[in-house]
Structure formats: C-alpha cells, structure tokens
Amino acid sequence: MAKVTREMVTKAGVNVDELVELLIKNAGAELTTYYYYTILRINLIGLQGENIKEIAETARIEDRNHFEAIVPRIYELGGKLPDSMKEFHDLSACPPASLPKDPTDVMAMLKVLVEAERCAVRGYTHICNLTAGKDHRTYDLSQSILNEEIEHESWFSEFLGEGPSGHFLRRGETSPFVSKFLR
C-alpha cells in the first residue's frame, strides 16, 4: 500500500474504501469480459461474423489491459483482489457478456458486445466523477480506460447501424490510452 497516497485521497474527501471496492468491481468486469469475449470472438464466424471478429478481438485484448492497469492501483490504495476467482466473477460491475442463444445471429452478438461496453462506459464515468480533482492518479487511470471503452462502444454501435463511430479502428498497437500504465 502507498500510505501517503491513500491519505491524500482521503484528505481530498474521497471515501477510499468505496473507491477501492468500485475499482475491484470494475477490474472484475474487465477480466470476466476478457473471458466472455473469447467465447464471443470464437463464435463470430461466417461472412458477417468475420467482419466483427477483429474488432471484438481488439476490445478483448484492451479489456484485459484494463484489468492489468487497474490492479496496481487497488493495491496502492490499500485494497486487494478477492482470494476466490469465483467471487471475483460474481462481484463484477457488469453482467456477464454471455453468448446469445443463437450464436450465428451476428446482430445479437453485437448487442451483447455493445451492452458490455456501455456498462463499462458508465462505470468509468462514475469513477472519473468521483475522483476528478481529488485522486489524480485514479482519475488519470479511469479517464484513460474510459477513452478506450468509448471507442469500443462506438465501433459496435456503428455495426449495429446506430450511426458512424467517428474514427478508424485500431491502427498499430492496442491500448493507445492505457498503455502508459502497463509499463
């Protein structure tokens, strides 16, 4: 734990125990999403599925990166991951991104994907709101993750016909915003 780090955040008026719990829940959401997106990506087959497969894979890897980036901050603030992975799964901030009943239905797959990203966008927006101007490191971390989650949402939303995402898919390395926390 980083003692003075925690003190500074407490002094700024943040309930650090609640913040740590939120970080653990969102870390749980990232790791479970990485798992469930593996299944989704594998099932994105055929002419329609192939178009989405690469995007799903990028989101999957970046969500895993988000987990890696959040974990040190949990420990810096005096928290810890649950001893049980099952418990970690069940306390996730977002519901499981489970395979739809008909895995050949690409639109149904996209809806699962976009809802998972929307849950993440809400979660990190909330953490940013709690920490802005008070916990500069957690804010920086959450904002970085939020930037990537927003891009994930926009890609899947575009494929659902909800309008342009406004940008290209990834060109080059994954996690352009979060990678600085992965060194």
Partner 1 sequence: MNKMQEYSLEVLKQFDGKEGRKAYVACNGLVYDVTDSFLWQGGKHQVSHMAGTDLTSELEDAPHDIEFLKRFQVIGHLV
Residues of this chain that interact with partner 1 (CB under 8 A) are 18, 21-22, 25, 90-96, 121-123, 125-126, 129
Min dist CB 45 to partner 1, Å, is: 28
By beta-carbon proximity to partner 1, the closer residue of 20 and 52 is 20
DSSP character at residue 103: T
By beta-carbon proximity to partner 1, the closer residue of 61 and 81 is 81
Interatomic CA distance for residues 62 and 105, integer angstroms: 24
C-alpha distances in Å from residue 21, one per residue of 18, 66, 93, 142, 164: 5, 16, 10, 14, 35
Closest CA to 160 of 112, 122, 111, 116: 111
Min dist CB 153 to partner 1, Å, is: 13
In the block, which residue shows the tokens 């060109």?
Answer: 171
CA dihedral sign of residues 176, 179, 181, 183: negative
Min dist CB 92 to partner 1, Å, is: 8
By beta-carbon proximity to partner 1, the closer residue of 16 and 110 is 16
By beta-carbon proximity to partner 1, the closer residue of 49 and 123 is 123
Min dist CB 101 to partner 1, Å, is: 17
Task: Calculate Rg over the CA atoms of the chain.
Answer: 17
Min dist CB 38 to partner 1, Å, is: 20
By beta-carbon proximity to partner 1, the closer residue of 53 and 126 is 126
